[in-house]
Structure 1
Amino acid sequence: MNRMLLGVAAGLCFAIGPSAIGAEATRINPTDPQPTCTMCPGTHIPAAELERYTQKAIAEKLIDQQVRDIDIGKARIGIGMVHRGRLEKPAPNSVAEHDQISEVYHVISGAATLVLGPDIVNRQRRPSTMRTVVEFNGPGNNGSDVKDGVAYEIKAGDVVVIPAGTGHWFTKIEDHIDYLMIRVDPDKVTPLKGEAQSAEYLSKPATKGE
């Protein structure tokens, strides 16, 4: 009987796994703050993979592409690569705003004039079926202008933080601008995207509308 009980206990330990046991053991004091993403792995994205997105954007005339969408517990983080070509004047109704997702730009190369502000003129709801709405930045609006907006001359190395609800509007691009996009999605409105999905996307031409 004792041998049988020891065998069952050993089997349970194997089924539960050392990671689960270790995770429980770390909760020494239940009143201490606990990780908001329990036993979550880290994510590494090689520079070579990011560069392939830029090359794809140039070759296929794409602008915004999502590289990853990662669950971090209380939120999701989207990583994108954006390439914009020369722009002499803004397109009509090209002010963008996202209701639930905040964005951070890290400019890699090029320069542009970017106008920011929350008071958007002539708001128009972005169609809910748009790929960017469904997969990248969630529901939001476009507009024709930003009332009392602040214009920034952004260039390589600069960082821009755009809270959800803030209008952002490229009004001039001398040659091009490439930037890494970080999207903060606390409501988890966009789908997850991992390394395998990224590789599949890069392996073939993007479908129309991407």
Structure 2
Amino acid sequence: MRSVDIGKSGVAVGMVHRTRLDAPQANSVAEHDHVSEVYHVISGSATLVTGPDLVDAQRRPLTNENVRLLNGPGSNAASIRNGVTHQLKAGDAIIIPAGTGHWFTKIDDHITYLMIRVDPDKVVPLKDEAASKAYLSGQ
């Protein structure tokens, strides 16, 4: 994941690969207060549910590494009430506005997608090539 300043906003770009998921994991709904996301599916397929009405939402602690370094403040939840189901496949793109819950409920074999995060409030720190490589190597 690289994160750069483009003037009035920060933008992060990364490639994400997720493996097979037969059923959603507990409390795996994610919602970001300030950061919007765009996914462009490169390969594979999955079911993604989106919507604003989170069930049993819990705020992620501000000390959480994902909050501090990747997503900014937000919540996790058990599910999404009256969510919209999207069947994603290679070539599809979806925009997830800030404040919208999103939840992979099934991944057929895998899904690989380009993720673009738009951070208009610059809540996520910038990450140059060296910082990105260090993060990916676990340092």
TM class, shorter-chain normalised? over 0.9
Tell me the distance in 2 between the aligned counterparts of 1:153 and 1:117: 15
Partner of 1:206: 138
What does residue 117 of structure 2 align with?
A: 183
Distance 1:199 1:83 in 2: 17
Residue type of the partner of 1:191?
A: P
Give the structure-1-normalised TM-score: 0.63
Find the counterpart in structure 1 of residue 90 from structure 2.
156
Letter in 1 for 2:14: G
Following TM superposition, by how much is the alpha carbon of 1:198 offset from its aligned partner in structure 2, in angstroms?
Answer: 3.1
- In proportion to residue count, which structure has more strand? 2
Count of residue pairs brought into register by the alignment = 139
Residue of structure 2 equivalent to 1:18: none
1:124 to 35, 40, 58: 58
Change (3 A) 1:201 1:91: closer
> What TM-score, normalized by structure 2, do the two folds share?
0.94
Which of 96, 120, 134 matches 2:30? 96
* Bigger relative contact order (CA 8 A; separation at least 6): 2
In 2, Cα distance between the equivalents of 1:177 and 1:190? 25
Percent identity over the alignment is 63
- Quick check: which one's helix share is greater? 1
Aligned to 1:188, the other structure's residue is in SS state: coil
1:82 to 13, 16, 22: 16
Distance change (3 Å), C-alpha of 1:201 and 1:126: closer
Assess, with a 3 A threshold, how the Cα gap between structure 1 residues 95 and 199 changes in structure 2: closer, same or farther: closer
- Cα distance per residue 1:147-203 (max 9 Å; x no partner): 11011100111101000000001000111111111000011111111223334445x
Larger radius of gyration: 1
**Which residues in structure 2 correspond to 1:135-174 (within 5 Å)?**
135-174=69-108
Unaligned runs of 5+ in 1: 1-65
* Structure 2: runs of 5 or more not aligned: none
Question: For 1:54-106, what per-residue CA distance to the aligned partner results, in whole angstroms no more than 9, with x for missing partners?
Answer: xxxxxxxxxxxx2x111011110011221111100001111110000000001
Larger CA deviation: 112-121 vs 186-195: 186-195
Report the Cα offset of residue 136 of structure 1.
Answer: 1.0
Q: Mark the CA change 1:165 to 1:94 in structure 2 (over 3 Å): closer, same or farther.
A: same
- Partners of 2:129 and 2:79 lie apart in 1 by 38
Q: Which residue number in structure 1 is paired with residue 5 of structure 2?
A: 71
In angstroms, what is the RMSD of aligned CA positions?
A: 1.3
Relative to structure 1, the CA distance from residue 116 to residue 201 in structure 2 (aligned partners, 3 Å threshold; closer, same or farther) is closer
